[in-house]
Chain A
Amino acid sequence: MNKMVTLILLCIGILFNLFGCIGLIRLPDVYNRLQAATKCVTLGTCSILIGVLFHFGFNDAGVKAIVAIPILFFASTVAAHALIRGAYHFGIKLGEKSVRDDYKDAVK
């Protein structure tokens, strides 16, 4: 039972990671790439860690997996925010198909 749940959670997580990496390759500019890849890969890795928790139960390894999930959430989202803000100040233009730039008015 637990093995099946573990395998299903791992498959869901790796599917999310796959979609994130496809977005990382295919999308046109750095902002789109970051928003696709960060969301999908963070949630997919959290699903993999929940699978680790189901496999080990509540012993040392499972507690390590529980501790890793909030660290991953906060660290990756804050890092993505800082990175994209730095990229905007660095002067990267939006892609050709982008229609609207609200942050330009806020920066002035």
Chain B
Amino acid sequence: MTEYLNILLYIQIALSGICLYRIIRGPTIPDRMVGIDIFGILVVGICAIISIETERSFILDIGIAWIILSFIGTLTLAKYLSGKKLNE
């Protein structure tokens, strides 16, 4: 069980590396934001697999907090993209 979980964890970390490629290489600003958004969702998967592997439940709390912070960050960046102030 544990060795399979390790393999899956490495695959998931490699996928978030692919997102880093898009963040670094992206030709426009929205491409980089898409990469950041997807990276935040993939980190939740990493947290879930680590919580299975170590049998601790508090790591899922990190995942939930990461979802909400990434949501707020993406909304702020989207407001910036459409050229509005934050209170409009």
Contact = CB atoms under 8 A, between A and B. Distances in A.
B88 to A, nearest CB: 13
A60 B24 CA distance: 38
B8 A64 contact: no
Task: State the majority secondary structure of interface residues on B.
Answer: helix
Interface of B: 1, 4-5, 8, 11-12, 15, 18-19, 21-22, 28-31, 33-35, 37-38, 41-42, 44-45, 48-49, 51-52, 56-57, 60-61, 63-64, 67-68, 70-71, 74-75, 77-83
22 contacts: A7-B4, A14-B15, A17-B12, A18-B11, A21-B15, A24-B35, A30-B30, A30-B31, A34-B37, A37-B38, A42-B41, A45-B41, A45-B45, A59-B57, A61-B56, A64-B57, A68-B60, A72-B44, A78-B75, A83-B34, A83-B37, A83-B78
A25 B28 contact: no
Contacts of A48: 45, 48-49
Contact of B74 (A25, A42, A83, A89): A83
B60 A82 contact: no
Contacts of A33: 22, 31, 34
A61 B57 contact: yes
Contact of B42 (A17, A25, A34, A86): A17
Contacts of B70: 75, 79
